[in-house]
A and B are shown apart, each in its own frame.
Chain A
Amino acid sequence: METLMVDRVHSSLRLFMHRNAIFLCERLCAQFPSETNVQLLATCYLHNNQPYAAYHILKGKKLPESRYLFATSCFRMNLLREAEETLCPVNEPNMEVPSGATGHYLLGVIYRCTGRISAAAEQFTQALTLDPLLWSAYEELCILGIAEDTDECFSESTALRLQQEHTSTPTLVKSNFANENRVLSSRVSASLRDISPKQIKQLHANNIAEVSGYPHVRPTALHVQNSSTSNVPQFDTPSPTAAQTSSIMPPPLFRNVHAYQNTISGDAPTKQKANGVNQPLRRKYMDEARLKKVSGRLFNSDSTSIPRRSERLKDTATNSNSNTSQFGGNGTGHSSGSRYEVIDEMWTDNISGTSSSVSTADGRSFEQDKAERILLQDSKLALGIRELLGLFRTLGEGFRLSCLFKCQEALEVYRKLPESQFNTGWVLCQVGKAYFELVDYLEADRYFELAHRLSPCTLDGMDIYSTVLYHLNEEMRLSYLAQELISIDRLSPQAWCAVGNCFALRKDHETALKNFQRSVQLDSRFAYAHTLCGHEYSALEDYENSIKFYRCALQVDERHYNAWYGLGVVYLRQEKFEFAEHHFRRAFQINPRSSVLMCYLGMALNSLKRNKEALEMMEKAIAADKKNPLPKYQKALILLGLQKYQEALDELERLKEIAPHESSMYALMGKIYKQLNILDKAVFCFGIALDLKPPAADLAIIKW
């Protein structure tokens, strides 16, 4: 009855019948109280968005899965300290973090939320090593600005490791000998696929029953390196290459191998709770295997390539981390540590000199067919893993570069994607974001629009899109976007950001502020909402509050350079020039390519009277982005302050060609002419300035 109930609960969960699942599970727990059932009930509660219920029933449980579920419920209820305590108890520093990669990821997120960046980074790296396909961990590392190169994270060795895991997991599940052969050959094929085709040919050429045991060796070695806790004796089973047409192992030896196979598969996935379970099983297999080995030896003359295999095992063991091209060392016999000596011992007594392949006609063809089929399956698996990792490599690299604000490079990387992947919401939003950082709002607009059209329900990048429209002064489209987003999801912070931007564009700062505050309420970990609130307070001249909100944004995400910029502007207005310079510099350090930031930094330096540096900064800004007229204007302003009138005029003349319709430019020219006492030109310039309709404040100044 218990299994029946568990099965029903699982199927209810799968089909989203949460209340049904909860009811059944509660009956299950009442009837068969066990921690696994309690975990299942907690899972049901979490699916049904009732983390408090899960919290209540899991409090105090010690099993790793329970601890993970408890930590998740604490996290959802915002009880970060308890979550952390569960995942990583202070009193027991050696306790493993439960649930492997995801546990580390959760712990990393908690550390990030509580401000411990380096610890968070450590946890994310750990999570990524344990499970290279955990994209979120890599994403978090990028956001923290310290992700490694994707070539290292999603490299060949991770591909191999993944393959190992994926082919081993079936063996774990079906731990009875029922499908030994299949397992065996899957191992074989997996290993074979590790090797490049030319190496397989080499195998063929050697006409030896290749020991594909080395893939077992390799991953185990890898795992040994990765996991500090695997202290299991690394018995490597030489496994026959059933796929090799040239050699098929006889059934008894098959079973032999399989026994060890299981042991290996038990080792291979690290940090899986089944580890503990596997230990006793393994020993049993080993004993059986030994028996069988002996019997096999008695009844089979082959044990053929076993010595060769073992040697090859050693070879490959040493080459464990390198790419497969190093395979082929044939019996060079360097030992790779004590773990393989065991194998030596095991097999030395089996060494018989024959190198002919084993041939027992009976089971051979049958095995061969089955093995071939499975080889095909697993070759697909290996190929699939490689493809996935390739995709991750491109996406990861693009994301990493855009987080480091190297936007041009990021764009190039994204363009390498196949069209089907490129035309998806996420990628297009990232591309749009990259253009946004490059201050190329038109392109950004184009891409964001495409993204929104292709997947109207992706809300993630829409807050940036609304900012782009704000910059482009597109009132209509911005209000349309805002309406749409609200109708899609009233409870998403991005939608309210868009609405706020809409009001901000009309200079209705109070309503904009209200909307941004709503956005903050909906998700207090959304840094951009805080920054936008800060901007609005700043526009309302409420500097205290704006500083407060900018600081909140920085608490959430220290690399949010908009917040640093905002603080700089506030201090500039308050004439605290030192502070302003410091904050602009921090923003500049995070995003060193933005010409606008350089411009502001120059302005701050100018206010501090460090004119040389200011001019240098302006030059840099001008060089960084030819289309940005502002640095030139600022440069002219600085030169005016230094009383270098002619140079200032030259600068402004150059500027006139780029932006001929800017009233402030003519006003400045007029001012300079007035200083130089060339009054007719001054009047002329002021006249043009007036024609271009400046706001009233300027009118007063211009009309002197």
Chain B
Amino acid sequence: MESDAEEAAAAGAPGAGRLKGSPELTVDADMREMAKTAAWSVSSCKAGNGVAALRDDNLDTYWQSDGAQPHLVSIQFQKKVQLQLVVLYVDFKLDESYTPSKISIRAGDGFHNLKEIKTVELAKPVGWVHISLSGADPLETFIHTFMLQIAILSNHLNGRDTHIRQIKIYGPRPNPVPAQPFHFTSREFMTYSTIR
């Protein structure tokens, strides 16, 4: 799957593979978008291209920063969540020097104790860029955190400000059957597992 390939590319030493972006957004079925009820904020923005453009599911609208680097997108959740994947939509062909090239992802409890967990470099990406948050260890498939921060450290062609068109954050689905240690996989179990 696309996402697996991207993950494999990025799963090496941080920044080793340069991400290119894929035209389609393909995510595993057992992941879901986590940040709908989160609080989004940005370090700076140009009038008319604010933070809402990051979440409007419209690839024509974009967020444009308007300040000094690094540009920050901060996402604060209401409770500690498990996160697995960050996906950004950027387009070098349209945005050229506004396209981010080095991105750092930080996590923590709040603005005061964010710690960097991942850095990636992009190479003229067009489309969705998948950034996996998992570590090498199976125990580290997810990160548990209250807050995530995406920092744009530099842009292509040394541009000052950046354009990002869409960001999505993914985590695991909760078990549809409550109070279970494991998910059910077989048809027999799933048929009897809930009443609809």
Contact = CB atoms under 8 A, between A and B. Distances in A.
A198 interface: no
B188 A662 contact: yes
A207 interface: no
Contact of B176 (A472, A539, A627, A692): A539
Contacts of A383: none
B31 interface: yes
Contact of B188 (A597, A599, A659, A671): A659
A231 B188 CA distance: 66
B195 A597 contact: yes
A630 B192 contact: yes
Contacts of B172: 695-697
A441 interface: yes
A439 interface: yes
Interface residues of B, number: 35
Nearest to A600: B195
B146 interface: no
Specify which of A596, A607, A698 lies most central, judged by the most chain B CB atoms within 10 Å of its CB. Answer: A698
A457 interface: no
A697 B195 contact: no
B182 to A, nearest CB: 4
Interface in A647-693: 658-659, 661-664, 667-668, 671, 692-693
B183 A664 contact: yes
A507 B29 contact: yes
Interface in A484-529: 507
Nearest to A704: B139
A603 B192 CA distance: 14
A177 B29 CA distance: 81
B189 A664 contact: yes
A557 to B, nearest CB: 16
B84 A701 contact: no
B40 interface: no
A473 interface: yes
A629 B183 contact: no
Contact of B195 (A472, A562, A603, A664): A562
A444 B196 CA distance: 15
A77 interface: no
A473 B186 CA distance: 11
A559 interface: no
Contact of B182 (A467, A562, A668): A668
B179 interface: yes
Interface in A543-573: 562, 565, 569, 572-573
Nearest to A671: B181
B142 interface: yes
Contact of A659 (B175, B181, B186, B194): B186
A630 B193 contact: yes
Nearest to B172: A697
Given A439-B192, A507-B173, A699-B138, A607 B186 contact: no
A668 B195 CA distance: 23
Given A664-B180, A664-B185, A696 B195 contact: no
A116 interface: no
Interface string B153-196: 00000000000000000001111101111111111111111111
B196 A471 contact: yes
Contact of A663 (B185, B192, B196): B185
A287 interface: no
Specify which of A565, A596, A662, A699 lies most central, judged by the most chain B CB atoms within 10 Å of its CB. Answer: A662
Interface in A586-642: 594-597, 599, 603, 607, 627-630, 633, 637
B179 A607 contact: yes
Contact of A700 (B31, B138, B176, B184): B138
Given A664-B182, A664-B184, A664-B185, A696 B191 contact: no
Nearest to A662: B186
Contacts of B184: 662, 664
B28 interface: yes
A700 B30 contact: no
Contacts of B28: 696
A599 B179 CA distance: 12
Contacts of B189: 629-630, 633, 659, 662, 664
A115 interface: no
Contacts of A703: 138-139
A532 B142 CA distance: 31
A366 B139 CA distance: 102
Specify which of A630, A699, A701, A704 lies most central, judged by the most chain B CB atoms within 10 Å of its CB. Answer: A630
A470 interface: yes
A539 B174 CA distance: 8
A699 B29 contact: no
A456 interface: no
Contacts of A668: 181-182
A696 B186 CA distance: 16
A472 B191 contact: yes
B32 interface: yes
The 7 closest A-B pairs by CB, nearest first: A703-B138, A664-B182, A695-B30, A662-B186, A697-B172, A572-B178, A663-B185
18 contacts: A471-B191, A473-B190, A507-B173, A596-B195, A597-B195, A603-B178, A607-B179, A659-B189, A662-B185, A662-B186, A662-B188, A663-B185, A664-B180, A664-B189, A668-B181, A694-B183, A696-B31, A697-B175
Given A472-B191, A664-B181, 13 more contacts: A441-B191, A471-B191, A507-B173, A539-B176, A541-B174, A565-B195, A595-B192, A630-B192, A633-B189, A662-B185, A667-B182, A695-B185, A699-B141
Interface of A: 439, 441, 467, 470-473, 507, 532, 535, 539, 541, 562, 565, 569, 572-573, 594-597, 599, 603, 607, 627-630, 633, 637, 658-659, 661-664, 667-668, 671, 692-701, 703-704
Interface of B: 28-32, 82, 84, 138-139, 141-142, 172-176, 178-196
